[in-house]
Structure 1
Amino acid sequence: MDSNGEAHAAMTPINENVCISACTSKDDFDKLKQGLTLLEQAKVYDHNRDYYAAIRHYRDGVDYLMDEFMSRTCANEQSKEYLRLKCHKILNRVDILKKLIKQQEHETIQEAINNDEQQKDSES
């Protein structure tokens, strides 16, 4: 909780080895921070099964991380590799969520067809 008594989701650091000091300006650090915030929000949406919002936040968060990754010329290779792998894992999760959405949509359509057929059978 902050000084106003408001609860905030804990934001986990990317890794201790990520070269935060390589930021050339406050804007660079803000991009990284915004990306991490979006990823934390995505996890909450994912947990609550709001997959559309989760996908949107995961993608936006990865965009911010990739911007950061591309703009860092002095970051060490370990930090860059960690960011790359993290983004890859997140995008894999996005693919899984897309499949879940497609499966849910298929099940919903199939259920509607079955209900329609049952209704027609009961009318005749």
Structure 2
Amino acid sequence: MSHPHEAGHDHASHDGHGSLKSYIVGFALSIVFTIISFWVVLGGSVPRGSIELWLALFAVLQLLVQLGFFLHLGTNPEQQQNTAIFLFTALVLGIAVGGSLWVMHNANVLMMPNM
């Protein structure tokens, strides 16, 4: 017996959404990158001058894991809409933040001519 709200839905095609296995892998990678970041700061085996570089690297890796495994951004046809929306949002935020910083910098330069 078929339910009326299931008509027209293809339940076998959930490639755009994560499975339990992909969520566990994403969670494990997130935990690993977090532990490594703490180790970089507290372990003492990384030179002080390069701590920021290592933290930035693991922050970017953490971001990619979050975007891929939990927000389902990718190039699959089911994920392309999410990816396009994310990229457009990042573009708008980049324009807003960059434009604000540009205006504040120019206002500072033009209003303080003796400095």
Per the normalisation by structure 2, the TM-score is 0.39
Greater Rg by CA: 2
